[in-house]
Amino acid sequence: MGKYLGLDSSTQSLTGIVIDADDGAISAEVSINFDAHFAEQYGVENGVIELGDGAVHSAPLMWADALDLLFKTLQAQGVELGQIRSIAGSGQQHGTVYLHASAGPTLAELTPRRSLAEQLEPVFSRATAPIWMDTSTGQQCAQIEASVGGREALLALTGNAAFERFSGPQIRKFYQDEPEAYARTHYIGLVSSFMASVLAGKLVGVDSGDASGTNLMDIRSRQWSAEALRATAPELVEKLLPVVPSCTPVGAVSPYFSARYGLAADCTVLPFSGDNPCSAIGLGLIEPGRVALSLGTSDTLFACMDEPRVSRTGEGCVFALPDDRNYMALVCFLNGSLAREAVRDEYGLDWAGFTAALQATKPGNGGALMLPYFDPEIVPKVSRPTVIRHQLDRTDAQANVRAVIEAQALSSKIHARWMGIDISSLYVTGGASANRDILRVYADVHNCPVHQFETTNSAALGAALRAAQADRGSSWQSTVEAFTQPVAGSTLLPNPSAVATYARLIDEYEALEQNHVGSAQS
């Protein structure tokens, strides 16, 4: 039986998906919500601990507790854990975990008679872990960039500008604020490598997919950059294990899980990766040119690249894919559903009325345009809410509905150019992907087929697919094919007339954006 387990340790939950690679089906799925089970014990709300002044942490011990509960739940549901051949996982990117020298011996000697949390509690040199939501490291970002020769130099080296939420700035802040605790730290890992270490019963290195979200890895060699490490903190190289290949098992599962939950002694553990790289696998982005768009609270564009091209303006992120060959580009537009809902609510519409308004207008909207930054925007960077209407009557509900959708589609094309990808198809998921009239605009703007892609927990699914591919030695295409098919009959083809309209309109929209974004940031 070809059964494989994918885990995703996200901000608010730990999810496990068991797939049957022979049948091409998901056979079990469990999610452990942190607030529901551990809020009082660990002091979390929405899975995190707000410390003030932009510092946002979580509790690694809670993740270990959740791992025990997840296996217990799978067992209670009748899942035959002994049939699982391999386990891989993903973790919320950028979060850092700090361990004493006792961590390695403790992991190697876990006893099934006691819970993980009971045994692991003494191993942390820092009780909590700063995560991706932490915005307290602006000063450290500037210092790291300056030390390597500036923003452009760091982009060229690591594929990314210094982001506050990234691991390197988090580590530097810890070193500066708590130098004694930093000195006592023997091992620094990420959420992903910590969870893999627990499962494998030994300290495991970070894979290149997650390491590329640290500002510490040379994006081309897929190894730690000595220059970036020196810019971050002293003796950091001694606290990091080498970057490990994503597709090579780190060993068998810890005897703890075999004795306590019945996993096979020869069940292998792969290095865990980041949630974004694993989501790319779960969305089937295994060949350059394949692009997925998630239309959620924020809109996120994922693309597969064959080389690490970078955004010189720092608008996008570049991560190594955990297939050990390709890369992924990611652009996040904060004003996704936030903007669509703002327009809907401003005109007293429900979603049916919103769709009817979109249907009642024509592509190009008669030249009426909107810059829909109802909240501060990430791409392009807009520091405060700014809504610009160009030749657009604010009282015209129908025109404003089309304007916000066309703005989002045009912006997604403009700000994907740096990827250097000929977008041949667009796989769309997320709540708004159910609206085919919205998808029609994207098909026409990008001049490519758009497919509805119905998936949940793509990071956990991507992790399970990674485990299957590594164990079976199969091609990536055959591994993901059964699990990453678009909704039957959902494909929308571009309309040539609308394509021509948007080809003319995009330059006007880009000029409008360039004229106003600078003043919006001041």
What pLDDT digit, counting tens, does each position of 92-133 carry? 999 999 999 999 999 999 999 999 999 999 999 999 999 998
Half-sphere exposure of 147 (CA within 13 A, CB side): 20
pLDDT at res. 315: 83
Q: Are residues 76 and 203 in the same domain?
A: yes
Half-sphere exposure of 121 (CA within 13 A, CB side): 7
Global pTM reads 0.90
pLDDT at res. 298: 87
Burial, 235: exposed, middle or buried (Cβ in 10 Å; 0-12, 13-18, 19+)?
exposed
Look at residue 231 and tell me if it is in a domain. Answer: yes
Q: 8 is written with which tokens? A: 């995703």
Look at residue 501 and tell me if it is in a domain. Answer: yes
Which residue(s) pair with 55 in the sheet? 52
Q: Are residues 128 and 231 in the same domain?
A: yes
How many Å apart are CA 307 and CA 296, to the nearest integer? 28
pLDDT at res. 522: 35
Task: Report the chain's mean pLDDT, rounded to a whole number.
Answer: 95
Of the candidates 143, 118, 158, 133, which has an alpha carbon nearest to the alpha carbon of residue 50?
A: 133
Query: For 136-163, what is the mean pLDDT?
Result: 96
Q: Are residues 230 and 289 in the same domain?
A: no
Of all residues in the chain, what percent carry a pLDDT higher than 70? 98
Is the pLDDT at 1 greater than 70? The verdict is no
Look at residue 487 and tell me if it is in a domain. Answer: no
Of the candidates 174, 201, 191, 186, which has an alpha carbon nearest to the alpha carbon of residue 60?
A: 191
Q: Are residues 260 and 348 in the same domain?
A: no
521 confidence band (pLDDT: 50, 70, 90): very low
pLDDT at res. 518: 64
Q: Are residues 187 and 93 in the same domain?
A: yes
Give the model confidence (pLDDT) of 340-363 as tens digits. 999 999 999 999 999 999 999 999
Pairing label, strands 84-91, 273-274: parallel
How many Å apart are CA 266 and CA 251, to the nearest integer? 9
Of the candidates 204, 246, 199, which has an alpha carbon nearest to the alpha carbon of residue 81?
A: 199
Q: Are residues 365 and 395 in the same domain?
A: yes
Domain termination site, one of 251, 277, 303? 277
CATH of the domain at 198: 3.30.420.40
Is the pLDDT at 454 greater than 80? The verdict is no
Highest-pLDDT range among 95-99, 133-137, 421-425, 480-484: 95-99
Half-sphere exposure of 9 (CA within 13 A, CB side): 34
Give the model confidence (pLDDT) of 298-344 as tens digits. 899 999 999 999 888 878 899 999 999 999 999 999 899 989 999 99
pLDDT at res. 381: 87
- CB within 8 A of 67, min separation 6: which ones? 7, 14, 116, 195, 198, 199
Phi then psi for residue 241, to 5 deg, are: -80, 155
Of the candidates 9, 35, 188, 190, which has an alpha carbon nearest to the alpha carbon of residue 87?
A: 9
DSSP letter at 480 equals: H
Look at residue 471 and tell me if it is in a domain. Answer: no
Q: At what angle do helices 151-158 and 138-147 cross, to 10 degrees?
A: 80
pLDDT at res. 52: 93
Cα 276 to Cα 61, 315, 386: the distances in Å are 23, 16, 29
| 3-class secondary-structure state, position 8 | strand
Look at residue 424 and tell me if it is in a domain. Answer: yes
Query: For 368-389, what is the mean pLDDT?
Result: 93
Query: For 56-78, what is the mean pLDDT?
Result: 98
> How open is the CA angle 343-496-290, to the nearest 5 degrees?
75
Q: Which amino acid is at 60?
A: P
Give the model confidence (pLDDT) of 188-199 as tens digits. 999 999 999 999
Q: Residue 376 in contact with residue 384, Cβ under 8 Å?
A: yes
Q: Residue 155 in contact with residue 310, Cβ under 8 Å?
A: yes
Q: Are residues 337 and 220 in the same domain?
A: no
Pairing label, strands 84-91, 268-269: parallel
Q: Could you list the residue range(s) of the whole structural domain that residue 178 is in?
A: 3-277
Q: Which amino acid is at 476?
A: W
How many Å apart are CA 371 and CA 379, to the nearest integer? 12
Q: Are residues 311 and 430 in the same domain?
A: yes
Q: 287 is written with which tokens? A: 């060949």
Q: Residue 320 in contact with residue 209, Cβ under 8 Å?
A: yes
Query: For 441-445, what is the mean pLDDT?
Result: 98
Cα 277 to Cα 191, 208, 356, 463, 504: the distances in Å are 14, 10, 37, 9, 35
Q: Residue 416 in contact with residue 331, Cβ under 8 Å?
A: yes
Q: Are residues 328 and 348 in the same domain?
A: yes
Q: 163 is written with which tokens? A: 């982001």
Look at residue 153 and tell me if it is in a domain. Answer: yes
How many Å apart are CA 183 and CA 139, to the nearest integer? 21
Query: For 259-271, what is the mean pLDDT?
Result: 98
Q: How many helices (H) and strands (E) does the chain have?
A: 20, 22
- State how many domains the chain has: 2
Q: Are residues 268 and 409 in the same domain?
A: no
Q: Residue 463 in contact with residue 89, Cβ under 8 Å?
A: yes
Query: Which of 68-72, 107-111, 251-255, 415-419 has the weakest average pLDDT?
Result: 415-419
Look at residue 500 and tell me if it is in a domain. Answer: yes
Q: Residue 37 in contact with residue 59, Cβ under 8 Å?
A: no
Domain termination site, one of 215, 249, 277? 277
Q: Residue 150 in contact with residue 79, Cβ under 8 Å?
A: no
Look at residue 470 and tell me if it is in a domain. Answer: no
Q: Are residues 238 and 361 in the same domain?
A: no
Domain termination site, one of 255, 277, 299? 277
Q: Are residues 272 and 410 in the same domain?
A: no
How many Å apart are CA 332 and CA 230, to the nearest integer? 30
> How open is the CA angle 412-418-422, to the nearest 5 degrees?
75
